[in-house]
Every structure is written in C-alpha cells, then in structure tokens.
Structure 1
Amino acid sequence: MSERLPRADAGPPGPPAAGAGPADTARPLRRDAERNRRRLLDAARDVFADRGFAATLDDVAHAAGLGVGTVYRRFPDKDALVEALFEERITGLVELAEEAARAEDAWEGLAGFLVASSERMAEDRGLRQVVMSPHHGRAGVALARSQLAPRVEGLLRRAQESGQLRPDVAASDVVTTLEAVQVAAEIGGTAHPEHWRRLFAVLLDGLRCPPGGCAALPGRPLDEEELAEAMGRRKHGRRD
C-alpha cells in the first residue's frame, strides 16, 4: 500500500494550514464539476443539433473530450440530458408564440411564428425531435411542450377569425406542415441550408385563404391520438 499509517507516538494531528479548510478544498471540485457539466451540455447541443436523438451519451462524451463515466454521473440517461438541454429552448418557442399573438395582423403573427420556429428547428434536429415527439424529455420538457400547443392553437383561431387562414385547417395540419418543412431541411442539408424555405413558402400559401374563398380540404384532420401514433411510426421508420 502506498499510504502510510501514522505512528502511534506521532501525537494528535496539528491544526490545518491557513486557507486549507474543508470549504476551500471542496470549491475546486465543485468548479470542476460545473465546468464538466457545461462542457457536456455544449457538446450535447452540437451533437443533437447535427444527429438528433440517434446520438448516444457515448457520442456526447467523445465530443466533450470526457470519459463516459463523467457523463453518467451528471446525466444518468439521455432523457435527463434532454431535460437539461431543451426545456429552455422549448420555452423560447412558447415566448415566440406569445409575441406572435400580440401582432396587430393575425396572419402576420401566425406566419412570423411559423417561419421563426422553422428556422430554429432547421438549425437543430434535436429541438425538432423534442418538439414534435412526446417520447423525449421529462417533466420540464413535457410542461413546456404542453404550454406551446394551446398558444399555437390560439394563433390559428385568431387567423381563422380574421378570415386569412383556411377555416378547415387544424392544429395537426400545422404540425404535419412543420414536419414536412423539416424534411426539406434535411434534404437540403449543409449544401443547401435554405432549401426548406422554398417548400415553406409553398405550404404557407396553401394555408392562406384568398379573399374570394377557398375550396374545402379533402378528408379530415388527424386527431391528437392519431397524430401521436403517426409521429411514433415515423420515428421508428414504420408505415403501418
């Protein structure tokens, strides 16, 4: 053993050296832990933005230049990391929707929210997945997501009441529209990062009702349960 036991006649230990109390020895450890936590969150933001939640905690550890054990000490599973990383970002979308609701023109408010949220999700695949799927995150993320839905529905009602949004458009249609825009963002990739804006413009025109009126949409919108099932099938690559 490398440690040496004190001799029986060594006497009681002397007082600690000045400035070396328990609080002082703990502070560097706390600073190191917080620094590592920040490195993990910064790395996770980049990894999830690029690869989405197909990325693992091992991938995050590698990107942060830290051992896997350090990741699991801070975040026991991926959902804990998602919670720390995305709750604030979804809250940012809630704030965007609240700002849009204050716009003087209902259509401009809705369109402004849709383009701003699409921009954020096009730049961050992880944010798109955590907003669109109910399967990621814990209480904080779920709460933020639940606060977003009624605000978006309020934007839709306001635009419909103004006569500018098609009267038969439902919230699930808008979710599907946003998902289609993100598929266009993936197709464009880093080579054509603005490609999604072309499809967005086409879809936005389709949502708007011209002054002369518009023909009814075929079929019916998906309800909340059907939309969740459809998004789950898409997440797992199934078509049934």
Structure 2
Amino acid sequence: MTSRAEGDAVGDCRGERPLRRDAERNRQRILRAATEVFTQRGLDATLDDVARQAGVGVGTVYRRFPDKETLVAELFQDRIDAMVAVAEQACAAPDPWQALISYLEHAAASMAGDLGLRQLMMFATYGKDRVAYAREQMRPVVSKLVERALAEGTLRHDFSPTDIPLIVFMLASAGEYAGSVQPDIWRRYLALIIDGMRAARGGSPELPVPALSPGEIEQSMRAHGQRSSTRRLNARAFAFSS
C-alpha cells in the first residue's frame, strides 16, 4: 500500500516531466523566434519583440533568458563556431587560392543574410567574450589562408589577412543596402574584388594605403560600436520626449 507521502512524491514526479517538456518547447520556440527577429531586424530588437514573435508572454522569455545578452550569446554561438570550422576546413583544402576564395564567399554569404550576426561580429555589442574568442580562433586560420595563397603566387603580394574582415563587412553592407531590390548584389562586388586580389603578370600596382593592423581593426570596431550605441540611445530619447 502506498502512503500519502509516497503518493504525493509520485504525483510530483509525474507532473514534473510535462512541465520540463513544456519549458523546453517554450525555450525552442523562443530561440526560433529570436533567430527570425535578430536575423531580419538586427540586435536593436528587444526581448518584447522576441516574445511577440514567439507567441509567448515576455515573462516566459525572461524566465528562460534573464537578459538580451544571454539570449544573443546562446543564439549566435553555433554560427560563430560554424564560421571558425569553415575557416579551418578551408586551410586543409589542396588549392590555396580556391580555399581563400571559398572562405571569403562563405563569410560574406553568412553575414549578408543575417543582420544580427553582422552586427555581432562588426561591433561586438553583445557576446563580447564569444566574439573575441571567435576572432582569436579565426585570426591564425585566416592568416594561414592568406599566406598559402601568397606563397603560391596567386594572391597579390600586398594583400593582408586584416583585409578579409573589412572586405566581408563591405560586401555584407552592400547586400543590406540593396537588399529590397537585389539581395545577392554582394556577389557582383565579390567578383570584382576577387579580380583585384589576383596577382597580375608583371606585378600589381601598389595599393594607395597600407592595410589596418589587428589592433586598428579592433579599435575601429569599438569606435563604430560606440557610435551605433550612441545613435540608438539618442533615437530612443527623442522618441520618448516626442
């Protein structure tokens, strides 16, 4: 015979599993909604926006993710890891030139189609530790891709590994600018840039200014991120006072 206390314990255990399943379903629904919201609207979107997209109360979102930083960090971790993995795989490809171009195309495609990822990697407004980790992981691999193509003689001699992130950001920005008309326009400019990257017979003319150093890249991203944050704050203040 089961005592009342034992029956209560069994009842609690039986009731716990559906609750856990419901909680996990809500969590996955929130992550799917956040993917759609941040991909299309960028990191200015709020947890309220995510809740509306998910069809749940904002309190449900906050119970799963205490702040936007936590949600963004979890949401983009897989995408950051995937970019690192693609760079590592490209390093193992037998053709140095094609390996470099394939990585460049993959990185541009990833960011051109995902406003949130682009903002995350460009400005590191959220998930700073993860973004810094991704950059530290990618820097030596991207440098190796560039060095292999330089050694092969297919890449112009004055090309620098730090040119890669700026080219990717430029291409992604072109895709955003013309996204409502021709979202793949960045591919046109990638083809033009690739032609400019090739080592010309008889030597290529020197580029007019040197590449940024890794420290200057970081400084530029921080400054741009701070300006973007200031603009967002000013816009919110204006909207509040209107």
TM-score by length of 2: 0.85
State the AA in 1 paired with 2:196: G
Shifted more, 67-76 versus 177-186: the winner is 67-76
| Matches of 2:78 and 2:218, distance apart in 1 | 23
Residues 175 and 15 (structure 1 numbering): CA distance in 2 closer, same or farther, change over 3 Å? closer
State the SS of the aligned residue for 1:214.
coil
Shift of 1:178: 0.9
Deviations 1:10-66 (A, max 9, x none): xxx835659943221111111111111101110111111101111111111111111
State the AA in 2 paired with 1:229: Q
The CA RMSD measured in Å over matched residues stands at: 2.1
Contact in 2 for aligned 1:44/1:60 (Cα 8 Å): yes
Aligned to 1:179: 169
Gaps of 5+ in 2: 231-242
| Runs of 4+ residues over 6 Å off in structure 1 | none
Equivalent of residue 151 in structure 1, options 135, 141, 152 = 141
- Computing the radius of gyration over CA atoms, which structure comes out larger, 1 or 2? 1
Aligned to 2:109: 119
Contact in 1 for aligned 2:112/2:173 (Cα 8 Å): no
What percentage of residue pairs aligned between the two structures are identical?
43
Shift of 1:139: 4.0
Shifted more, 174-183 versus 187-196: the winner is 187-196
| Matches of 1:77 and 1:169, distance apart in 2 | 41
Question: What is the total number of aligned residue pairs between the two structures?
Answer: 226
Contact in 2 for aligned 1:134/1:228 (Cα 8 Å): no
Q: Equivalences for 1:193-232 in 2 at 5 Å? A: 193-232=183-222
Residues 77 and 14 (structure 1 numbering): CA distance in 2 closer, same or farther, change over 3 Å? closer
Bigger share in helix: 2
| Matches of 1:223 and 1:18, distance apart in 2 | 66
Shift of 1:173: 1.7
Shifted more, 75-84 versus 17-26: the winner is 17-26
Q: Equivalences for 1:25-36 in 2 at 5 Å? A: 25-36=15-26
Aligned to 2:235: none
Equivalent of residue 4 in structure 2, options 7, 11, 14 = 14
TM-score by length of 1: 0.86
Aligned to 1:128: 118
Residues 140 and 23 (structure 1 numbering): CA distance in 2 closer, same or farther, change over 3 Å? farther
Gaps of 5+ in 1: 1-12
